[in-house]
């Protein structure tokens, strides 16, 4: 499998953890932020392997006809074309409405 991660997906993960560090600056470190971002990005490479395909719950993902996968606290929207998986978007569980 080949994976392509769109800029928007990376941006959403980075922005989520940057907001966490702003809110909890006395207890949440830059090192932990970097670790959390890396873990969220690394989990994407399990899509269609150990992360099962699900029907999207977000309307915007449904309209785009994307698939959804969940790893821990992150949900990923993706498309499949041949042997290429393109991660289109990411959303933390706190923002899934």
DSSP 42: H
CATH number of 2-95: 3.30.2310.20
Q: Based on the number of CB atoms within 10 Å of its own CB, is 76 exposed (0-12), middle (13-18) or buried (19 or more)?
A: buried
Mean pLDDT of 70-84: 97
Checking if the pLDDT of 97 tops 80, the result is: no
Checking if the pLDDT of 8 tops 90, the result is: yes
Q: How confident is the model at residue 37 (pLDDT cuts 50, 70, 90)?
A: very high
Structure tokens at 39: 């873990």
């Amino acid at each position: 499998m080949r994976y392509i991660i769109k800029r928007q997906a990376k941006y959403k993960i980075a922005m989520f953890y940057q907001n966490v560090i702003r809110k909890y600056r006395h207890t949440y470190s830059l090192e932990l932020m970097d670790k959390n971002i890396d873990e969220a990005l690394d989990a994407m490479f399990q899509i269609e392997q150990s992360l099962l395909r699900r029907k999207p719950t977000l309307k915007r993902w449904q309209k785009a006809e994307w698939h959804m996968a969940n790893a821990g606290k992150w949900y990923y929207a993706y498309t499949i074309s041949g042997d290429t998986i393109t991660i289109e978007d990411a959303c933390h569980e706190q923002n899934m409405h």
